[in-house]
A = this chain, B = another copy of it.
Amino acid sequence: MGDRAGVTGMQRAELARRTGCNLETVRYYEKVGLLPEPPRTASGYRSYDSTHERRLRFVLRARELGFSLDEIRELLCLVDERDRPCAEVRDVAAVHLAVVRAKIADLKRMERVLKDVVAQCGDGTLPECPLIETLFQERNAI
């Protein structure tokens, strides 16, 4: 409970711990404009609160879903505008979904070829390795 509501005065390490984010990455996200610059204590230490935590969780979650930092920046703009961003957000996600699917297709092609050649190698006692032979063949023959 106390863990969820209105926390203030967090230092970087605590924010990182609470979100599971790497310590340095927090500062990096601030540098590239994904997190707002937090207020500072008298001695210059960053002082985070729940809004920072919420925003960082958003970024981390979007990264888990494979969004690039540019895409996340775009999403955050839409979130901030609050105008009726649902259609635009959906479009960003749909584009990203297409990219993810293309990557899956790529990897599946790789997987198929690799599985085949590994199988052809059998117990590895062949004099001419079929895998090596495959790799010396033309590209685009996949």
Contact = CB atoms under 8 A, between A and B. Distances in A.
A16 interface: no
Interface residues of A, number: 56
B97 A115 contact: yes
A7 interface: no
A137 B62 CA distance: 10
A63 to B, nearest CB: 9
Contacts of A19: 139
Contacts of A127: 84, 86
Interface of A: 19-20, 54, 57-58, 60-62, 64-66, 75, 78-79, 84-91, 93-94, 96-97, 100-101, 103-104, 107-108, 110-111, 113-115, 117-118, 121, 123-129, 131-132, 134-139, 142
